[in-house]
Amino acid sequence: MSDDIEPTSYEEVLTSLNQDQWLITMKEEMDSMDKNKVWELVDLPLNRKAIGNKWVLKVKHRADGSIDKYKARLVAKGYTQMEGVDFLETFSLVVRFDSIRVILAIVAHLDLELH
């Protein structure tokens, strides 16, 4: 394997030419999630399966094509959950660009009226 090949699984990391670098990067990701308290270990309720996870591994390059860094993210396979069984509601904070423009226009208008 070339040193800029991106493994698609933990098993591929273990056979990669840059196994040591990938494992360091993955450990740094785990340490960061632990430090930031991304999750809390709890007992799994009866008759429930844990959500799986997957490593997303990327090689970042500089403008000249040389390797800048290895990046690893551990992501949950949330798409395996079923609404009403595994969760009841979802929330994702999303701001529309149009909303920001309207607010800024109102603020600018109010500022002009005050001066």
What tens-digit pLDDT sequence spans the chain (115 residues)? 466 789 999 999 999 999 999 999 999 999 999 999 888 888 988 887 888 899 999 999 999 989 999 999 999 887 877 777 777 777 777 788 888 899 999 998 887 777 6
Specify if 103 maps to a domain.
Answer: no
Q: d(Cα 90, Cα 61) in Å, to the nearest integer?
A: 36
Q: Domains in the chain: how many in total?
A: 1
Using alpha carbons, list the distances in angstroms from residue 27 to 21, 51, 55, 71: 10, 20, 12, 11
pLDDT score, position 92 = 72
Which domain does 70 fall in, by range? 10-82
The amino acid present at 43, given as its one-letter code, is D
6 Cβ neighbours under 8 A, 6+ residues apart: 57, 58, 59
What pLDDT score was predicted for residue 3?
A: 65
Q: Is residue 96 part of a domain?
A: no
Q: Is 17 part of any domain?
A: yes
Q: Whole-prediction pTM value? A: 0.66
